[in-house]
């Protein structure tokens, strides 16, 4: 989707950049002008398209949320950056520029959704279009709440609930528990699933719009997160995950029976709209997620402005079992051959703290810059859509839900392993499931840190240092190395650090309480 055409709609919704940048701007502005806007099918379409305006923002699904994912044991901050270090060390205040925008930007999206849900029902437009637009608003509201409620809310307090019914209030208190947020997300995703068409009905620029499978997949993930407070939700998570497979869209893994190449091809431009990609940041050379460039070698070996952040740890590299082709597809290690800007190189790095680089998003960099990369290295977007939810994750959510209920999760888990050419598991355990999530979804927005938190594993995991390989000659792919600590053990207190600090400006301006301990 191209969003520039719909800037006017975003302005009318009062949420474009420049509207109270320092606060979660919850109260609608410019209400008087709306009477002239909510008239036609074009207006409804423009309003729904404006819902996606922050998806490709650098501080959202470019780097923003990834700074929080970077707290995990799978990666370290690849360059000296005090704000990133404080986030990773759980000493952040929430005011850091890296992490102080996602909360407020999410509420801007929520407000756009509420304006659609408030105004579109009364419009005299085609019923199919009306249903789709309303479904998009319910999905994007649930999606936005998922990303802030799971990170800033827990059993002691949720995040403010703002809907089309109460959006005119001056203040929005925090609910007593995040469970109230999960209840709202459940209803939003269910409504979205009922109203939205299958993605197979979309063509052209509509391919980036919300669809039924996306709503069902996030419903399953909502239940999985909710289950840490209520074990009965695992049954609902299994049902929702199964519904994705049975929706009629033909969901499937990228799997041609060639394990050596199939997983690598999941992250290929030709598969931007594959049956495996359920929800992603729609990207292009001039717009989209900057994550591929953010993960690229700092200064790109002198040929392109890679940013050099978020580098894999030795622990992640060693987590892959012998013969798993996902390791090489996920991580570049010294000596590995790869294509870069039209030439074959062997990986070596004078910048990597760990001796590794993520490889999943490297395909756009295989050919000359003009082919698939933004020529402006200060905005390193590419033609590769960046996945946020894949069908592989849905299968693993289903397997986890089944195992948690005392059932067999073997079929769903082994579907993921079979694509990698690995032997099937029999009577797969929760430990097997955790392992499979780690290696399948490494370096993705699936969020390893959030998994460790919801599993109750974060404290023990972060009490161990992260290591890497220190190469004697960092420019020689054949160099010898020694194993070194690249990030010391960290103190993680679940009573505090299971949630992140709400940005202080938002706390002050919205008159809510900060999360305890921050």
Say which CATH number the domain at 187 has.
Answer: 1.25.40.390
Residue 331 is classified by DSSP as E
pLDDT band of residue 7 (cuts 50, 70, 90) is very low
Nearest to 306 by CA among 317, 321, 295: 295
Task: Tell me: pLDDT of 442 over 90.
Answer: yes
Q: pTM of whole model > 0.85?
A: yes
pLDDT band of residue 36 (cuts 50, 70, 90) is confident
Q: Are residues 173 and 301 in the same domain?
A: no
Task: Indicate the burial class of 370 (C-beta count within 10 angstroms; 0-12, 13-18, 19 or more).
Answer: exposed
> What was the pLDDT predicted at 86?
97
Q: Are residues 64 and 182 in the same domain?
A: yes
> What was the pLDDT predicted at 4?
38
Residue 407 is assigned to a structural domain of this protein: no
Task: Tell me: pLDDT of 259 over 60.
Answer: yes
pLDDT band of residue 34 (cuts 50, 70, 90) is low
Residue 162 is assigned to a structural domain of this protein: yes
Q: Are residues 160 and 303 in the same domain?
A: no
Task: Tell me: pLDDT of 5 over 50.
Answer: no
Mean pLDDT over residues 171-190, rounded?
A: 98
- For 143, other C-beta atoms within 10 Å of its C-beta total 27
Whole-number mean pLDDT of the chain? 94
The number of domains in the chain is 2
Task: Tell me: pLDDT of 445 over 70.
Answer: yes
Mean pLDDT over residues 402-418, rounded?
A: 98
| Chain centroid, CA 308 distance in Å | 19
Residue 222 is assigned to a structural domain of this protein: no
Mean pLDDT over residues 439-443, rounded?
A: 98
> What was the pLDDT predicted at 31?
47
Mean pLDDT over residues 362-384, rounded?
A: 97
- Residue found under tokens 């052209």: 204
In angstroms, the CA 63 to CA 116 distance is 28
> What was the pLDDT predicted at 140?
98
Sequence-distant (≥ 6) Cβ neighbours of residue 409 within 8 angstroms: 398, 399, 400, 401, 402, 403, 428, 433
Task: Tell me: pLDDT of 10 over 60.
Answer: no
pLDDT band of residue 33 (cuts 50, 70, 90) is low
Q: Over the range 199-209, which residues count as b (16 or more CB within 10 Å of their CB) and which as e?
A: beeeeeeeebb
Residue 176 is assigned to a structural domain of this protein: yes
Residue 262 is assigned to a structural domain of this protein: no
- Residue-range definition of the domain harbouring residue 357: 290-384+467-486
CA torsion, ordered 406, 411, 416, 421, to nearest 10 deg: 120
In angstroms, the CA 30 to CA 111 distance is 13
> What was the pLDDT predicted at 127?
98
Task: Tell me: pLDDT of 322 over 90.
Answer: yes
Task: Tell me: pLDDT of 45 over 50.
Answer: yes
Task: Tell me: pLDDT of 336 over 80.
Answer: yes
Q: Are residues 345 and 473 in the same domain?
A: yes
Task: Tell me: pLDDT of 17 over 60.
Answer: no
Q: Are residues 167 and 313 in the same domain?
A: no
Of 21-30, 154-163, 394-403, 435-444, the least confident: 21-30
Residue 448 is assigned to a structural domain of this protein: no
Task: Tell me: pLDDT of 30 over 80.
Answer: no
Q: Are residues 74 and 116 in the same domain?
A: yes
Nearest to 455 by CA among 227, 236, 243: 227
Dig out the tokens for 105 from the structure: 């930007």
Task: Tell me: pLDDT of 15 over 90.
Answer: no
Mean pLDDT over residues 393-412, rounded?
A: 98
Mean pLDDT over residues 260-271, rounded?
A: 98
Dig out the tokens for 404 from the structure: 């948690």
Q: Are residues 192 and 304 in the same domain?
A: no
Residue 405 is assigned to a structural domain of this protein: no
Structure confidence by residue, pLDDT tens digits, 119-138: 999 999 999 999 999 999 99
The rounded percent of the chain whose pLDDT value lies above 70 is: 93
Residue 346 is assigned to a structural domain of this protein: yes
Task: Tell me: pLDDT of 484 over 50.
Answer: yes
């Amino acid at each position: 989707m191209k969003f520039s055409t719909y800037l006017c709609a975003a302005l009318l919704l009062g949420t474009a950049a420049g509207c109270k940048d320092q606060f979660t701007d919850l109260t609608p502005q410019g209400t008087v002008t709306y009477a002239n806007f909510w008239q036609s099918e074009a207006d409804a379409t423009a309003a729904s398209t404006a819902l996606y305006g922050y998806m490709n923002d650098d501080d959202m699904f470019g780097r923003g949320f990834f700074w929080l994912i970077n707290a995990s044991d799978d990666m370290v901050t690849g360059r000296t950056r005090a704000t990133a270090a404080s986030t990773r060390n759980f000493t952040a205040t929430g005011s850091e520029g890296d992490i102080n925008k996602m909360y407020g930007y999410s509420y801007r999206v929520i407000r756009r959704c509420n304006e659609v849900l408030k105004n579109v029902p009364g419009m005299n437009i085609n019923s199919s279009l009306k249903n789709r637009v309303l479904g998009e608003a319910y999905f994007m509201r649930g999606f936005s709440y998922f990303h802030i409620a799971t990170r800033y809310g827990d059993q002691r307090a949720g995040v403010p609930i703002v809907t089309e019914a109460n959006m005119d209030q001056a203040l929005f208190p925090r609910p007593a528990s995040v469970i109230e947020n999960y209840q709202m997300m459940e209803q939003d995703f269910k409504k979205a699933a009922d109203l939205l068409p299958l993605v197979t009905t979309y063509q052209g620029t509509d391919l980036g719009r919300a669809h039924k499978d996306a709503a069902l997949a996030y419903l399953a993930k909502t239940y999985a997160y909710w289950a840490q407070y209520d074990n009965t939700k695992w049954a609902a998570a299994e049902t929702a995950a199964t519904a994705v497979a049975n929706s009629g869209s033909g969901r499937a893994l990228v799997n041609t029976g060639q394990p050596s190449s199939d997983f690598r091809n999941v992250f290929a431009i030709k598969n931007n709209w594959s049956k495996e990609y359920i929800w992603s940041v729609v990207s292009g050379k001039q717009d989209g997620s900057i994550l591929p460039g953010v993960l690229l070698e700092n200064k790109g070996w002198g040929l392109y402005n890679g940013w050099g952040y978020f580098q894999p740890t030795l622990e992640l590299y060693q987590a892959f079992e012998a013969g798993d082709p996902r390791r090489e597809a996920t991580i570049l290690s010294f000596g590995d051959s790869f294509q870069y800007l039209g030439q074959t190189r062997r990986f070596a790095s004078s910048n990597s703290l760990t001796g590794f680089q993520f490889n999943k998003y490297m395909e756009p960099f295989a050919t000359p810059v003009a082919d698939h990369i933004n020529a402006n290295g200060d905005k390193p977007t590419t033609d590769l859509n960046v996945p946020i939810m894949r069908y592989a994750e849905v299968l693993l959510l289903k397997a986890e839900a089944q195992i948690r209920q005392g059932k067999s999760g073997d079929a769903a888990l082994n579907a993921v392993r079979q694509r990698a050419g690995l032997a099937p598991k029999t009577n797969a355990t929760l430990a097997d499931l955790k392992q499979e999530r780690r290696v399948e979804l490494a370096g993705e927005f699936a969020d390893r840190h959030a998994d460790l938190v919801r599993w109750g594993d974060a404290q023990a995991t972060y009490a161990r240092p992260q290591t890497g390989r220190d190469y004697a000659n960092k420019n020689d792919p054949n160099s010898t190395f020694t194993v070194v600590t690249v990030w010391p053990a960290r103190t993680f207190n679940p009573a505090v650090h299971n949630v992140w600090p709400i940005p202080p400006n938002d706390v002050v301006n919205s008159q809510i309480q900060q999360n305890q301990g921050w």
